[in-house]
Amino acid sequence: MIQVQTILKVSDNSGVQTVRCIKVLGGFKKKYAKLGDVIVVSVQKIRNMSKRNSKIKKGDIFKALIIRTKIKYNKKNGLQFCFNENSVVLINKQENLLGTRVIGPLPKILRNIKFNKLISLSAGLI
């Protein structure tokens, strides 16, 4: 469960290392975001290799899609799974992915949302 002020790892090759959640989208009373939700984030840390030639600067505001959370997720068949980190991928205003590659596996429940390109760019599905 992701809430405001949560530090998240970025799992794409956009050049950003960590971001901070500043708003959970989806209603004015929504306090927590779960797997597959879109949030608004602020860039906290940029990777060392991309500091000079990156268009993304520290403090920039983006939307992000949550792809991994530490909280357990229950499937309908009784199985549970969780990840070791809270992770997102950055998207722009037109809801296209900023990066061209997604690092690490994705859960299969992300197939139901409208980001089909995300599934094709990932390493695998769990």
Show the domains of the chain with their CATH numbers: 7-100 (2.40.150.20)
User: Strand 7-10 and strand 87-91: pairing?
Assistant: parallel
The pTM of the full predicted model, rounded to 2 decimals, is 0.90
Mean pLDDT value across residues 15-20: 95
Distances (CA, A) of 91 to 75, 79, 84, 98, 99: 27, 30, 23, 5, 8
Among candidates 84, 81, 75, which has minimal Cα distance to 104?
84
pLDDT value at residue 86:
95
Q: Where are the alpha helices (DSSP H) in the chain?
A: 116-121
pLDDT value at residue 125:
83
pLDDT per residue as tens digits for the range 96-122 = 899 889 998 888 888 877 778 888 888
Specify whether the backbone of 100 is left (phi greater than 0), alpha (psi in -120 to 50) or beta. alpha
pLDDT value at residue 113:
77
Whether 50 shows a pLDDT value over 90: the answer reads no
Whether 35 shows a pLDDT value over 70: the answer reads yes
Confidence of residue 81 (pLDDT cuts 50, 70, 90): confident
Whether 12 shows a pLDDT value over 70: the answer reads yes
